[in-house]
Structure 1
């Protein structure tokens, strides 16, 4: 039996892009929204596919990346619930330049380009929020390049752990993906990533159990990352 469809308005209104839309405006966006259920490793789109809108993750995770000429996969971003992807290429009206694959059972909403462009012309505030969202992603990519250029691999890993701590949590970090994928996201080899984690364990800064990392010395990690 097919899973029941969700009401896209209930999810869309939780996104920053649509948080001040009234019921009528949400209904217009929802009319141009479709669900996509993706199982683990299932492609959402391939590099070169036509971009007809953007996606938002309801639950699950999607990895964005590409495969080099040597056959190595490089992860550019791992997108989780409440976040979106594909907006920039939608505006540029260009094909996708990355591959997108589900990392686990994932539910996505696809918001069509046609309904977005229509709303942009009607609602200047929505246009500003879309521009802000694309700008935040560009700022994040610039920060990545700066990190790769100016920080050591160890500093990148420590910064990642500190940034992944949930607000108000007692120092526990659940790695959002496999160590191999996170290493690729940080532009490191999996072997180096594991070696640094075990070095931090030996220094008494963290405890490691599978994908769960417990931060034991946050001040020491911050000093290490600076």
Structure 2
């Protein structure tokens, strides 16, 4: 999909999974890699397709989701630059369970299953790194299940807005601006909320002086008060 030449080894060197590799080892993996460009709305893969690679997002945003027969969607994960996806599926005999779609123009480096398995045989330490990545994905999945089970919709939305804020810091961070990477409807689906409820909570938080909303930018006016807001 991407015709011009590219330096896959350079891209691999910027990824934590391959950071400890020598240049020769990265070049070996790079030979089994492909850089692909996707336009907004393009499918990276469909559920049911055979998994023959896992993928790194170089730039852009990818949505992993399930779809029902009546067209309803549930966003499972949003994958941004520096993140990867489909590692776990690559080790299973089953096909992809999720759909993967580019939400904006995206550059994705796909590392073939064959290249990964060859590297595991050569370098046992690599398999430990792969397991670590899969374990982190599984941990995020468990946190999602805990969130859906124990938190109400407002708490989930507040948690999303505060996900990158260090609430333990002694200094008051002042006003914090959160730029939503995708549409509000997509984030609502990721949080298992309806778009209507998502908008209603934003309006309520804004009316109570906790946030200011300007399209996809949300200014958090008092992060500590916001963190306490959904707990009572």
TM-score by length of 1: 0.95
Q: Report deviation, 1:6.
A: 2.4
Partner of 1:129: 129
Does 2:228 correspond to 1:223?
A: yes
Partner of 1:182: 187
Does 2:53 correspond to 1:48?
A: no
Distance change >3 Å, CA 194–CA 119, structure 1 → 2:
same
Q: CA-to-partner distance for each residue in 1:168-225, whole Å, 9 max, x for gaps? A: 8951100011000000000000000011011111111111100000110101111124
SS at match of 1:92: coil
Partner of 1:194: 199
Distance 1:187 1:225 in 2: 17
Distance 1:124 1:45 in 2: 29
Partner of 2:10: 10
Q: Report deviation, 1:80.
A: 0.4
CA contact (8 A) 2:175 2:222 kept: no
Partner of 1:212: 217
TM-score by length of 2: 0.92
Q: Report deviation, 1:8.
A: 1.0
SS at match of 2:91: helix
Partner of 2:170: none
SS at match of 2:57: strand
Distance 1:86 1:169 in 2: 38
Matches within 5 A, 1:92-107: 92-107=92-107
Which sections of structure 2, spanning at least 5 residues, go unmatched? 167-172
CA contact (8 A) 1:13 1:26 kept: yes
- The two structures, once aligned, show a CA RMSD in angstroms of 1.6
Distance 2:71 2:165 in 1: 33
Distance 1:169 1:155 in 2: 21
Matches within 5 A, 1:117-156: 117-156=117-156
Distance change >3 Å, CA 14–CA 179, structure 1 → 2:
same
Q: Report deviation, 1:69.
A: 3.0
Distance 1:225 1:198 in 2: 14
Number of positions where the alignment pairs a residue of Structure 1 with one of Structure 2: 224
